[in-house]
């Protein structure tokens, strides 16, 4: 069998590991990447941007030698331009490659709203290591940074800018920071902490345009706030990379897959940020890895099903650990019991229904994360584990 994987992000790398382990000795694995690097962990990009002492080599998790050890033929900087589903082959500018099973793991690009002035020099849409190199270089000659977007990536990039001695402003369209992970109350705690670090944070504000002659010089919000800027970085969400297949496969927001991670074309699978399962594009690392494992396994023998992922993520926002389990922003309306702990630097809220944790938000209390995650994922009784909860959250009420 000739297995081919398009993409070298977390889904692509997870898939080739499974394929290398489970395939027979006569089968081959070929992988394609647009980038000039081996595999790197995208959540670590802000740390790279914020520290000039960290090299590109230190950021790369798997270099070319690793791919050779697992017998993967990695084609770096070779973009796939066409897929023929009938002949079962794909084309790049260099050659045509046949496949028996194909996995599309092309990930996502940064989605950027249609802001006037995006064409100006030193405006960046943050997504990959190449973007990070340009931004880190610009920080050497700039002093004023504006981050558009107050999600996890936006806040991490803002922290990197502060580490690089930038006067940093975050502009968030939503009424509070991290609307996918936090409620208003928890976000208020986070915002106070970030402001003490030197971030200027504007929530509930929409960027109307970026001005400047050739380079960015100012960001102007819809209600007229003018923010000086020498570099503008957009961290405004993702859009699945589906252009390669939008005319040959069934596509909605992402590439539509079934429970086997199969697309609408036989022998072609999809996983990660480019895939859409039952109307959901997760855009998170754990679901991408889970999907990739199942897709790769089913490329060899089709007997594993994917039934969706729970919304559970543990993130590092600046120096704070934040965990959000199952939180969808509608828990108050569902009539769940709520238990809370809050101070100036910590925030915990558990949403409980029928003695089970249905959702949880944990900010700053790192030791509480494992026990709450376990109760949530295993659907264990809260009352039967009250002692364990009290050991890490004695002031929870």
> Does the pLDDT value for residue 103 go beyond 90?
yes
pLDDT tens digits for 353-368? 999 999 999 999 999 9
**Length of the chain in residues, anyone?**
397
Q: What percent of the chain has pLDDT over 70?
A: 99
Q: What is the mean pLDDT of the chain?
A: 94
β-pairing, 167-172 with 144-148? parallel
Say which residues have a Cβ less than 8 Å from residue 4's Cβ, sequence separation at least 6. Answer: 29, 30, 31, 32, 90, 97, 99, 101, 102, 103
Please name which of 190, 113, 123 lies closest in space to residue 156, comparing C-alpha atoms.
Answer: 190
Whichever domain contains 296, its CATH number is 3.50.50.60
pLDDT tens digits for 337-350? 999 999 999 999 99
Can you give the pLDDT at residue 318?
A: 77
Task: Look at the chain and report how many structural domains it folds into.
Answer: 3
CA distance 153 to 365: 21
In a domain, 114, yes or no: no
Do residues 147 and 51 both lie within one domain? no
Question: What mean pLDDT comes out for the span 104-123?
Answer: 94
Question: What mean pLDDT comes out for the span 11-32?
Answer: 96
Final residue belonging to a domain, choices 219, 234, 249: 234
Can you give the pLDDT at residue 146?
A: 98
Can you give the pLDDT at residue 12?
A: 98
Quick one: tokens of 80?
């796939």
- pLDDT confidence of 315, banded at 50, 70, 90? confident
Q: What is the pTM of this model?
A: 0.91
Whichever domain contains 340, its CATH number is 3.30.390.30
CA 134 to chain centre: 20
Question: What mean pLDDT comes out for the span 198-225?
Answer: 97
In a domain, 152, yes or no: yes
Please name which of 388, 365, 366, 369 lies closest in space to residue 377, comparing C-alpha atoms.
Answer: 369
- pLDDT confidence of 43, banded at 50, 70, 90? confident
- pLDDT confidence of 328, banded at 50, 70, 90? confident
For residue 195, the enclosing domain spans 123-234
In a domain, 260, yes or no: yes
């Amino acid at each position: 069998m000739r297995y081919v994987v398009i993409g070298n992000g977390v889904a692509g790398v997870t898939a080739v590991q499974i394929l290398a382990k489970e395939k027979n000795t006569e089968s081959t694995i070929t992988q394609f990447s647009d980038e000039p690097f081996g595999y790197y962990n995208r959540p670590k990009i802000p740390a790279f941007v914020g520290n000039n002492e960290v090299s590109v080599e230190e950021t790369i998790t798997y270099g070319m030698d690793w791919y050779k050890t697992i017998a993967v033929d990695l084609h770096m900087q070779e973009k796939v331009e066409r897929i023929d589903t009938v002949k079962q082959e794909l084309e790049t500018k260099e050659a045509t490659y046949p496949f028996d099973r194909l996995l599309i793991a092309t990930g996502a690009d940064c989605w950027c709203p249609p802001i006037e002035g995006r064409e100006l020099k030193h405006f960046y849409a943050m997504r990959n290591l190449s973007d990070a190199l340009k931004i880190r270089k610009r920080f050497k000659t700039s002093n004023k940074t504006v981050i558009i977007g107050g999600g996890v990536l936006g806040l991490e990039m803002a922290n990197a800018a502060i580490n690089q001695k930038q006067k940093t402003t975050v502009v968030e369209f939503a009424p509070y920071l991290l609307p996918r992970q936090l409620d208003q109350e928890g976000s208020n705690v986070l915002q106070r902490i970030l402001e003490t670090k030197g971030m200027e944070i504007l929530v509930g504000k929409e960027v109307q345009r970026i001005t400047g002659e050739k380079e960015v010089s100012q960001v102007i919000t819809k209600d007229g706030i003018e923010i000086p800027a020498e570099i503008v970085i957009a961290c405004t969400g993702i859009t699945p990379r589906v252009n390669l297949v939008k005319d040959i496969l069934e596509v909605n927001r992402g590439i539509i897959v079934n429970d086997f991670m199969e697309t609408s074309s036989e022998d072609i699978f999809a996983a990660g940020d480019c895939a859409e399962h039952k109307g959901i594009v997760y855009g998170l690392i754990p679901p991408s890895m889970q999907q990739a494992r199942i897709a790769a396994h089913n490329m060899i023998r089709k007997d594993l099903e994917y039934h969706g992922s729970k919304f559970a993520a543990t993130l590092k926002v600046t120096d704070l650990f934040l965990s959000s389990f199952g939180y969808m922003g509608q828990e108050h309306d569902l009539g769940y019991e709520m238990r809370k702990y809050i101070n100036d630097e910590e925030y915990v809220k558990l949403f409980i229904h029928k003695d089970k944790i249905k959702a949880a938000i944990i900010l700053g209390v790192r030791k509480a994360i494992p026990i709450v995650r376990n109760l949530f994922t295993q659907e264990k009784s809260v009352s039967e584990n009250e002692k364990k909860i009290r050991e890490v959250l004695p002031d929870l009420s």
